[in-house]
Amino acid sequence: MAGMDEAGRGPLAGPVVAAAVVLDPDNIPPGLDDSKRLSHAQREALFETVLSAARAVGISSVCAESIDAGDIRKASLEAMRRAICALSVQPKLALADGRDVPPGLPCLGRALVKGDQRSQSIAAASIVAKVMRDRMMADCGRIHAHYGFEIHMGYATARHRTAIKAHGPVKRLHRISFAPFRKAEGEG
């Protein structure tokens, strides 16, 4: 069985990142939980533990341009499907956090509301997805220093909105289909 989850549905910038994890039932890392309920240090430590203890980990992302071409729900489901397909071990069942099962899975799929709090494999996937996305956004922060991506990870904080007003959106990084960009386009 694999658990899958995504990180980054709500931000104004960056990809949505998904992970799929097949845990070793004889070596479950202690402390697994929904990534949002863990501190940064706890996530980082568990990330390393999951990568070393799991039977398989698959990671995928869908970029901002693809999110804009469709919608965030479809992009999240596609990222989860790709993460399952990236596993080196093919599961018989994939549990997805939330209400939707990604279409096109190579195995049976089941949605589990609040799955990251109810399933250890989904919790592990939530940690891997969150840490990977945060690291990607920290890299973006080094390239686009005046936006502060390494601090807010692309979410709509006051600092981020101020940087957007001052410098405009970063092509291929900001989700132009999201507010405040849609509003700005309609006003001009």
Q: Give a yes or no: residue 57 inside a domain.
A: yes
In a domain, 170, yes or no: no
In a domain, 111, yes or no: yes
Nearest Cα residue to 147 out of 131, 172, 167, 130: 167
Residue 188 has pLDDT above 60, yes or no: no
Query: Given this model, what pLDDT does residue 183 score?
Result: 61
To the nearest whole percent, how much of the chain has pLDDT over 90?
95
169: DSSP letter: P
Q: Which two tokens stand for residue 184?
A: 């700005």
Q: Tokens standing for 71?
A: 């919608």
> Tell me, what CATH number does 11's domain have?
3.30.420.10
5 is in an annotated binding site: yes
Question: Is 164 within 8 Å of 184 (Cβ atoms)?
Answer: no
Note whether 93 and 110 are within 8 A (CB): yes
Q: How many independent structural domains does the chain possess?
A: 1
Residue 74: domain span: 2-134
- Ranking 123-127, 140-144, 169-173, 177-181 by mean pLDDT, the lowest is 177-181
> Residue 101 in 3-state DSSP?
coil
- Give the pLDDT of residue 180: 81
What average pLDDT score do residues 102-127 get?
Answer: 97
Give the predicted TM-score (pTM) of the model.
0.94
> What per-residue confidence (pLDDT) applies to 33?
94
Is 97 annotated as contributing to ligand binding? yes
Q: What is the mean pLDDT of the chain?
A: 95
